[in-house]
Structure 1
């Protein structure tokens, strides 16, 4: 089968033939119909996250936002069958640890991030092996397309978990989203669907316009504003109830924390780059004086995807609205390179392998 294989960090992925996977007894093989190209793939391509022990090595197949059809299942798999239409979360769990058994599979004690470790080759390929498929393969509702659902592998479901489960977003709350890449635009759309008033913050006007289309009530151009937290405070008459760093650099993290009103919440979705390596200075005195909560959020438990599906069915959520374009596997290097200068808007999705 064809796959995009990492040869050297920062150098073009090699499109080549690799062995087709066979299912482990607990696994399933999915023929890919779509896979999003995420900024997390860019991080892996650039060799980030060594400090998290998830730096992809030479020979790794990247890609972690897959959707497609099951073509083979292992002998121990009971919940899915050949022909089922599924999405697969990037936070692969074993389904049996304490975290998985209590509904927190995104924090599996033996978790493996899809496409970042040798044990879990990714979805920039014609087919994908899904370990522990009873836990990790999420059957999609009838009538939805794989392209529209690809963001459920990472960006869309990550934002949903952050705002619907981790933060206390209530109708009428002000929610500020710092960084309007794929995960940030998803957060804008989801916060709007939850009834919040959304402020989108970014350097690029094109992304702010997209955020407005997705439900942002107000926008702040961080390239023009001298004081981003001050701009948020002025719009909200005191500060946001919830503020999200959807990028993961020091500036957006600090701006987000300082944008929060008294007793508000900062939610950290974005993971950091080589510049920070997981360590960002914070205004701790201001956090103490204002009783600001700092909340981390990772992925989403597979067992709760039905919450998204119910909102999609009633028209409250529309994951395809965040998809910017469809491309071929051969275009993956162009899209990864564009992310170096934040040159993509929304979610590019591979639909031709």
Structure 2
């Protein structure tokens, strides 16, 4: 099969022929029709995660089951499926109570094993982790649910317990941040979106954000407090940086809830978090690490009802060759939406990037 591969941390990836995977016991092989290019893939490439080399990235995906391993009971060849980026073992106490996203034996395509920037990917514990794709949902939209939408949904619903009418400040209007804007609006919340990219803020506004703030050196927390009459009830750092995390926390009102979604890699030690404000105002600081398959029905119900339309965030669909070129510079990009990869698509310089479409 063709796959995006890199041989060392920070090395330039290329597209090459590699052996296709076999279905593991309890797992399946999926023919990948869509996989997202995400900042987390860049983090692994840059050395912020432990990975074995050579490596194939890619962790948010959708496709069709092409092979079924021994012991799989629920999934035949030919089913259209997606999967959370955290795959639980299906046997531990956390998986058995529906919290596979924190399974101590978890596997993650694109991190613990070869991922979905390839024509085929192996997935483990299929009966625990696979999610059927409704006929009304495209492969690209389904792939977007596995990381960015699922993480934002879990962060707002499962962790922050967002209520209708509350204020939410979303710092970062990339894929996760825009997903959070859409989900918050679908749940009846009021949203302030913050970003340094005016184009991304324009998209946030078109998706329903009540206010947008450009991070151009102004005092973001002060602006949020003024707009919301005392601070937001919930804040989300969808970027992952000391400044963005601090701005989100300081944007909260007393007894507010902060959700840290963006990864905070240690730079010169552990990241600095404004704990004095957390203690004095009794703020809740919550992590959100994806979402287990058993929690997908609530999110899919919003999609099928039309209240949530993830396809609106898909900016373009590219091939594997373009994905290999984009991965090393993804931290420098300012996307106003999601980039999806179709591994079955061969490079054609004359062909325009296509929009999402169910195959």
TM-score (norm 2): 0.93
Report the CA distance between 1:148 and its aligned residue.
Answer: 1.6
Distance in 2, Cα, partners of 1:276 & 1:21? 39
The DSSP-based 3-state class of the residue aligned with 2:264 is coil
Cα contact 2:39–2:331 (8 A) shared by 1: no
Cross-structure match for 2:313: 322
CA displacement 1:275-301 (0-9 Å, x = unmatched): 366x22222222222111111111001
Cα contact 2:233–2:257 (8 A) shared by 1: yes
Does the alignment pair 1:235 with 2:264?
no
Report the CA distance between 1:346 and its aligned residue.
Answer: 1.2
CA displacement 1:86-106 (0-9 Å, x = unmatched): 002110111111000001010
Distance in 1, Cα, partners of 2:33 & 2:268? 36
Cα contact 1:335–1:344 (8 A) shared by 2: no
Distance in 2, Cα, partners of 1:103 & 1:352? 31
Cross-structure match for 2:65: 70
Distance in 2, Cα, partners of 1:237 & 1:321? 31
- Structure 1 stretches of 4+ with a deviation exceeding 6 A read none
CA displacement 1:25-49 (0-9 Å, x = unmatched): 2110100100000000011111113
Distance in 2, Cα, partners of 1:11 & 1:212? 37
Cross-structure match for 2:21: 21
Distance in 2, Cα, partners of 1:211 & 1:169? 19
Report the CA distance between 1:135 and its aligned residue.
Answer: 1.0
Does the alignment pair 1:3 with 2:3?
yes
Report the CA distance between 1:153 and its aligned residue.
Answer: 1.7
Q: Give the 5 Å matches for 1:174-193.
A: 174-193=167-186
TM-score (norm 1): 0.94
Cross-structure match for 1:106: 101
Report the CA distance between 1:314 and its aligned residue.
Answer: 0.7
Distance in 1, Cα, partners of 2:35 & 2:268? 28
Cross-structure match for 1:244: 236
Report the CA distance between 1:274 and its aligned residue.
Answer: 5.2
Report the CA distance between 1:56 and its aligned residue.
Answer: 2.3
Distance in 1, Cα, partners of 2:243 & 2:278? 16
Cα contact 2:152–2:179 (8 A) shared by 1: yes
Distance in 2, Cα, partners of 1:274 & 1:10? 18
Tell me which of the two structures has the higher relative contact order, counting C-alpha pairs closer than 8 angstroms and 6 or more residues apart. Answer: 2
Q: CA RMSD in A?
A: 1.3
Cα contact 2:15–2:324 (8 A) shared by 1: no
Cross-structure match for 1:171: 164
Does the alignment pair 1:139 with 2:132?
yes
The DSSP-based 3-state class of the residue aligned with 2:170 is strand
Cross-structure match for 1:52: none
Cα contact 1:328–1:350 (8 A) shared by 2: yes
Cross-structure match for 1:42: 42
Distance in 1, Cα, partners of 2:81 & 2:201? 32
Does the alignment pair 1:351 with 2:336?
no
Does the alignment pair 1:301 with 2:284?
no
Q: Unpaired segments of 5 or more residues in structure 1?
A: 50-54
Report the CA distance between 1:335 and its aligned residue.
Answer: 2.4
Give the length in aligned residue pairs: 344
